Chain A
Amino acid sequence: MTASFDIPVDRWMEELVNWCLDNLTALFDVISLLVGAMVNNFERALLSVPVWLMISVVIVAALWRVSWRFAVFSLLSLGLILGMDMWTETISTLALILAATLISLVLGLPLGILAAKSDLAEKIIRPILDLMQTLPPFVYLIPAAMFFGLGKVPGTMATIIFAMPPSVRLTNLGIRSVDVELVEAGIAFGCTPRQLLFRVQLPMAMPSIMAGVNQTIMLALSMVVIAAMIGAGGLGNEVLAGIQRLDIGRGFEGGFAVVILAIILDRLSQSFGRQEPQQTWLRRWWNTLLHSTRYEQDNP
């Protein structure tokens, strides 16, 4: 039964991978070079920032965008990472996530806009996104390593495949669910298609798009351990080493650092998704300052 009815998908895929290896090496090399430079430069730049400055920036951002409670949490949790001696690994993971997120957005946002503007494009893009999101990462991990060699680049590429879909989906959804009357108003007042996109649809879709960005970041974080299997390094490597050597303590240290990074990135990126910025203590203080100086200028 099984022998007589056989669709040789396994062979096809092998041949496809081999064909790619034979014919697309130049393309892979270019991608490898660009992505590798990006991740490495991110990492170098982030590591060159003194630890105290990095922590200060996070705390000010927390005060500005979220709340003082969250700023206290950030201070304590980043202190914990320092205390666990995981700072370099955390920065390395952060660099990879930032690069993967950036590339995901550069590709994902235009695709989302395209999907929103054309039903045909949406029909084509949707199953591809389904595939990217549900295909187990281990399946494409090995081809990625074959194409790009071991290291940060295949790790980033695998992360992009897994993390990009929400930014496309939520951009598409956001634009499609802009109030019809607002779109009509844009057209009625003489918007060109480009003006309509940039002055009406994208600003209105911003909360949804930012939710997509947030989800992309979170999914990228969930890939750190898997990416470490092909040598992406960072916190994933700590967890992986913990598993391999049954070093439970080391595994938990790496794991906690991932969670801390995730919470901080999540809260900060989420705060940009709100149409109405939260009234934080720092913002109020700043507004008062701004107001009083303006008042003085107006009434010398």
Chain B
Amino acid sequence: MECTRLVTDNPEPDAKIQVRNLSRIFGPQPEETLIQLEQGQSKDSILEATGHVVGVYDASFDVRPGEIFIIMGLSGSGKSTLVRMLNRLIEPTRGDVSIEGADILGMSHKELIELRRRDIAMVFQHFALMPHLTNFENAAFGLDIAGIKDPERSRRVGQALETVGLSAFADNYPYELSGGMQQRVGLARALSLEPTIMLMDEAFSALDPLIRAEMQDELVKIQRERGITVVFISHDLREALRIGDRLAIMQAGEIVQIGTPRDLILKPANKYVRSFLEEVDTRQVLIADDLAEAPVSLPEAAPDLSVRQVLDMLEDNSALSLVIRTGDGRYQGTVSRYSLLAAREAGREDLAAAYLDNVTAVTPNQGFYNMVDAAAAAAPYPLPVVDHAGYLQGTVSQSAMLRTLQTREEAPS
């Protein structure tokens, strides 16, 4: 709930799709059910007392132009209902949906049909291809419905089939193709419309894992090339993290959190979201910045100090190593008691002689897995995190690395 309000309070001015307080109740008296919900009755008690099912309750979000927006949730969480309200395959009980500022709930039947033919294409979980039509005719379905004739029709369908790599199978029938190829036809049918929005309902869920990954990559490629806004329904977090720019997590008809994959992993809104994240290796979204602690550092102009002076400071500090930076915060190097002693043995008084060779800096947005090698090389000393301008942002301790490596199940808090 809190999240919902948060989004409502910060509308995005140039949102492609804007959804506000959208609800859908299944049953004969949906309005009464909404009032009961507002009075704080639980969905289960409403179902038991009146038989009304809460499909979606009070959903608000913005989809930015050209992004892949994922709606995630377990089956029965209302995600299919939610996406079908965007093109009014399901009529909302209450709320607003606008597409590029146009209120689609106020549209006449005719305007709605125009919108579906021009702007919004849909891809279905089980492909929904017409078995009596060839792949070409299937890909041309939307154009035929809209009355678009050759040569425009052939050009667009040809192009769409080429985009999905099925030109050679244009005259075959869907049942002659594998599942993955059938969904390519489904994708071609959507692309031939040259839509600005694609709604994808578990589009890749029925495919083999390998084919699925391939289709995901292709979707992202096509979507980036054409700047299509995609609303993608999924119950697979791996898929969501792989292709999604932002995610909305649904639980029992309500959106519980909206954010980038990083936002969700680092700050899951509740137990439900956290339990979702358990399935995947959350470390793939962690970066150096997430693990960095404030550096235990020397006072200003540290590089000017002598080896002996720093050795004394290290004694007082009882630290293993010290990070050396300039007065304005530029990282210079890392020294340890041993490197300092070695430098003194060698008769060197300048601090630079004591910088550890094996400690190399990482950038703040370096991924966790890309830091592992550097951390191993630097052990037992912490890794300095240095931005591209050379300023020290913090250090990542070996224990922080180990803890993150070990805690597979939980997102770091």
> A184-206: contact bitstring with B at CB < 8 Å (1 yes, 0 no)?
11111111100100011001101
Which residue of A has the minimal Cβ distance to B133?
A: A203
What are the residues of chain B within 8 A of A298 when measuring CB–CB?
A: none
CA distance in complex: A181, B124 (Å): 7
Q: Indicate whether B122 reaches chain A with its CB closer than 8 angstroms.
A: yes
User: Using a Cβ–Cβ cut-off of 8 Å, how many residues does chain A contribute to the interface with B?
Assistant: 19
Q: Indicate whether B296 reaches chain A with its CB closer than 8 angstroms.
A: no
Task: Contacts A190-B113, A199-B145 given; indicate if A179 touches B130 (C-beta within 8 A).
Answer: no
B residues 284-337 touching A (CB-CB < 8 Å): none
CA distance in complex: A46, B3 (Å): 77
Residue of A186, A187, A188, A195 most packed against chain B (CB within 10 A): A188
CA distance in complex: A204, B133 (Å): 11
CA distance in complex: A181, B350 (Å): 75
Q: Indicate whether A275 reaches chain B with its CB closer than 8 angstroms.
A: yes
> A153-187: contact bitstring with B at CB < 8 Å (1 yes, 0 no)?
00000000000000000000000000101101111
CA distance in complex: A75, B409 (Å): 76
CA distance in complex: A195, B142 (Å): 11
Interface of B is mostly: mixed
Contact between B146 and A188, CB atoms less than 8 A apart = no
Contact between A191 and B126, CB atoms less than 8 A apart = no
What are the residues of chain A within 8 A of B146 when measuring CB–CB?
A: 190
Contact between A189 and B141, CB atoms less than 8 A apart = yes
Contact between A179 and B128, CB atoms less than 8 A apart = yes
Contact between B124 and A189, CB atoms less than 8 A apart = no
CA distance in complex: A92, B295 (Å): 104
Q: Indicate whether B209 reaches chain A with its CB closer than 8 angstroms.
A: no
What are the residues of chain B within 8 A of A191 when measuring CB–CB?
A: 113, 145
Residue of B128, B142, B199 most packed against chain A (CB within 10 A): B128
Contact between B142 and A189, CB atoms less than 8 A apart = yes
**Could you say which of A182, A189, A200 contacts B117, with CB atoms under 8 Å apart?**
A189
> A250-288: contact bitstring with B at CB < 8 Å (1 yes, 0 no)?
000000000000000000000000010000000000000
**Could you say which of A184, A192, A199 contacts B89, with CB atoms under 8 Å apart?**
A184
Task: Contacts A184-B89, A190-B113, A190-B116 given; indicate if A195 touches B145 (C-beta within 8 A).
Answer: yes
Q: How far is the CB of A32 from chain B (nearest CB, A)?
A: 41
Contact between B131 and A275, CB atoms less than 8 A apart = yes
Contact between B132 and A188, CB atoms less than 8 A apart = no
Task: Contacts A189-B141, A189-B189 given; indicate if A181 touches B89 (C-beta within 8 A).
Answer: no
CA distance in complex: A111, B136 (Å): 33
> B124-163: contact bitstring with A at CB < 8 Å (1 yes, 0 no)?
1110101110000000011011100000000000000000
Contact between B145 and A188, CB atoms less than 8 A apart = no
What are the residues of chain A within 8 A of B18 when measuring CB–CB?
A: none
**Could you say which of B125, B193, B199 contacts A181, with CB atoms under 8 Å apart?**
B125
Contact between A189 and B121, CB atoms less than 8 A apart = yes
CA distance in complex: A96, B189 (Å): 47
What are the residues of chain B within 8 A of A179 when measuring CB–CB?
A: 126, 128
Q: How far is the CB of B295 from chain A (nearest CB, A)?
A: 56
Contact between A190 and B128, CB atoms less than 8 A apart = no
Q: How far is the CB of A183 from chain B (nearest CB, A)?
A: 9
> B189-200: contact bitstring with A at CB < 8 Å (1 yes, 0 no)?
100010000010
CA distance in complex: A185, B84 (Å): 11
Q: Indicate whether B87 reaches chain A with its CB closer than 8 angstroms.
A: yes
**Could you say which of B89, B130, B131 contacts A188, with CB atoms under 8 Å apart?**
B89
What are the residues of chain B within 8 A of A192 when measuring CB–CB?
A: 113
A residues 3-47 touching B (CB-CB < 8 Å): none
Q: How far is the CB of A117 from chain B (nearest CB, A)?
A: 16
Task: Contacts A195-B145, A203-B132, A275-B131 given; indicate if A188 touches B116 (C-beta within 8 A).
Answer: yes
CA distance in complex: A187, B124 (Å): 12
Q: Indicate whether B32 reaches chain A with its CB closer than 8 angstroms.
A: no
What are the residues of chain B within 8 A of A182 when measuring CB–CB?
A: 128, 130
> B352-393: contact bitstring with A at CB < 8 Å (1 yes, 0 no)?
000000000000000000000000000000000000000000
Contact between A185 and B131, CB atoms less than 8 A apart = no
Contact between A189 and B122, CB atoms less than 8 A apart = yes
Which residue of A has the minimal Cβ distance to B138?
A: A185
**Could you say which of A189, A200, A275 contacts B193, with CB atoms under 8 Å apart?**
A189
CA distance in complex: A182, B138 (Å): 12
What are the residues of chain B within 8 A of A199 when measuring CB–CB?
A: 130, 141, 144-145
Q: Which residues of A contact B (CB under 8 A)?
A: 179, 181-182, 184-192, 195, 199-200, 203-204, 206, 275
18 extra interface residue pairs, beta carbon distance < 8 Å, beyond A184-B128, A188-B121: A182-B128, A184-B89, A184-B122, A185-B141, A187-B116, A188-B89, A188-B199, A189-B141, A189-B142, A190-B113, A190-B142, A190-B145, A191-B145, A192-B113, A199-B130, A199-B141, A200-B130, A275-B131
Closest 4 A/B residue pairs (Cβ): A190-B117, A185-B128, A190-B116, A188-B122
